[in-house]
Amino acid sequence: MQTNFTGKQINDTETKSSEKIIRKCVHCGMCNATCPTYGITGDELEGPRGRIYLIKDMLENNKPANKKIAKHIDSCLSCYSCMTTCPSGVNYMHLIDHGRNHVEATYKRPLFDRLVRNILSYTLPRPNVFLAISMLTKIVKPFSFLFPSFIKNSLNLMPNKIPSKKIKNKRVYQSDGDKTIARVALLTGCVQRVISPEINESTIRLLNRHNVEVVVLPEIDCCGSLNHHLGKKELAHLSFKKNINFWHEEYLENGLDAIISNTSGCGTTLKDYGFIFRDDKELIKKAKKISELTKDITEFLDENLKLKFKKTDEKKYKIAYHSACSMQHGQKVHEQPMNIIKETGNTVLTIPDGHLCCGSAGTYNILHQKMAKSLLRNKVENIKKVSPDFIATGNIGCISQISSGISIPIIHTVEVIDWFTGGPKPYKLKDL
């Protein structure tokens, strides 16, 4: 695509990168075919190609965003399905991130929108604040029918039960065997550790059982992606910088073989730290190292460990694997989780239209409830077509979203692997 940026504009790091990305686009429109929001609306501006034009126009002409532009940029799920489809290798992820920052910096949203976005930005990345809210919503949830639909729908996304923690908080979880073969840091996340502590517990148990020492740095809460995708650049960068410095210090002082993410949305952002700080002389090397070290848990297992599966006559199940967008499109980790589940002896079922988003997408299912519900409805119908005993996925956001629309239990992939290598049966499957 031809561009007309001035030399002065190109001096800006972000604009320089975006210009390169835009020039790669040949406006063929193939990406529209796999874009969930285009698929539902049929509107060119609700597809990647249309959004690329909108961002180009704003950046080239130094135009502030307006209501219409903000609507189309905001309604992008950042699912990156378009990136998997694009034959020209357009890095839409970096472009939409720039677009979101530009919208946030130049457009004043209506008061209600600002309020909701600020509440999400403040509460979700703070585990203690979010825990207090989760407790409150548990009490209020049975009366959700009394609230306006926006609040009712948001309440429905919260789990009915918040399981208590089974493993004490520690900085270092030593490996079970005499010989430690690797030392990794685990990102325990902000929302996940509150509503599903069993996911981190399964991860730690599984790694320790296979002679891997796990470090959980108490200084690190949120990876920063929640604010990053809300276009709140300064807040996101505060988290990014803190995480980079703490993990890098641990890497230098005590050694780290990997940084493990078990929430694929967060993993995608961690792997992008190197790009985000590409022009920061102080942080570039450290940020690149953190990105290099980051692995999704299934990627780490696949590349580094020989898993010891239980040789028992444990009942086997039909498991529908939901490949989160951030996993299959963001990190291109798709086969590994399915292959490992197959190795447990269970059957993996492929969900039709599995490349399409379930509507979770971080805070999307709160901010864009109509679109998120349509996508959820499609996902649920497709899951039902394969009649699984339960569903497995690698992202807490998808677990919350899908469980709000289907009664078939859904658990994290790592819980399946932990269970079939000697861990407990996940509590959500107690009736199976």
Q: Rule CB under 6 A: which residues touch ligand SF4?
A: 25-31, 35-37, 48-49, 51, 76-82, 85-86, 88, 90, 92
Closest contact distance (angstroms) between CB of 331 and ligand SF4 is 14
Which of 100/289 has CB closer to ligand SF4?
100
- Quick check: 184 and 173 in contact, CB under 8 A? no
CB of 162 to ligand SF4, least distance (A): 31
Least Cα distance to 264 among 355, 189, 156 occurs for 189
Contact 99, 14 (CB under 8 A): no
- Shortest approach of ligand SF4 to residue 49 CB, angstroms? 4
- Under 8 Å between Cβ of 35 and 82: yes
Quote the least distance from Cβ 93 to ligand SF4, whole Å: 8
Q: Write down the least CB distance from residue 88 to ligand SF4, Å.
A: 4
**Shortest distance in whole angstroms from residue 400 CB to ligand SF4:** 19
Residue 339 structure tokens: 């292959």
* Closer by beta carbon to ligand SF4, 224 or else 330: 330
Residue among 82 and 194 whose Cβ is closer to ligand SF4: 82
Nearer to ligand SF4, 92 or 317 (CB): 92
Residue 36 beta carbon to ligand SF4: minimum distance, rounded to whole angstroms: 5
- Rounded to a whole number of angstroms, the minimum distance from the CB of residue 393 to ligand SF4 is 18
Query: Is the CB of 12 or the CB of 44 nearer to ligand SF4?
Result: 44
29 or 422: whose CB is closer to ligand SF4? 29
Residue 362 Cβ vs ligand SF4, minimum distance, rounded to whole Å: 12
What is the rounded CA–CA span in Å between residue 51 and residue 27?
11
| CB closer to ligand SF4 out of 86 and 338 | 86
Q: How far apart are CA 263 and CA 157, in angstroms?
A: 17
Three-state SS letters, the chain: CCCCCCHHHHCCHHHHHHHHHHHHCCCCCHHHHHCHHHHHHCCHHHCHHHHHHHHHHHHHCCCCCCHHHHHHHHCCCCCCHHHHHCCCCCCHHHHHHHHHHHHHHHCCCCHHHHHHHHHHHHHCCCHHHHHHHHHHHHHHHHHHHHCCHHHHHHHHCCCCCCCCCCCCCCCEECCCCCCCCEEEEEECCCHHHHHCHHHHHHHHHHHHHCCEEEECCCCCCCCCHHHHHCCCHHHHHHHHHHHHHHHHHHHHHHCCCEEEECCHHHHHHHCCHHHHCCCCCCCHHHHHHHHHHEEEHHHHHHHHCCCCCCCCCCCCCEEEEECCHHHHHHCCCCHHHHHHHHHCCCEEEECCCCCCCCCCCCCHHHHCHHHHHHHHHHHHHHHHHCCCCEEEECCHHHHHHHHCCCCCCEEEHHHHHHHCCCCCCCHHHCCC
- Least Cβ distance, residue 329 to ligand SF4 (angstroms): 8
Q: Shortest distance, CB of residue 84 to ligand SF4, whole angstroms?
A: 9
Q: Which is nearer to ligand SF4, 91 or 304 (CB)?
A: 91
CA distance 240 to 228: 10
Q: Which two tokens stand for residue 370?
A: 């109509």
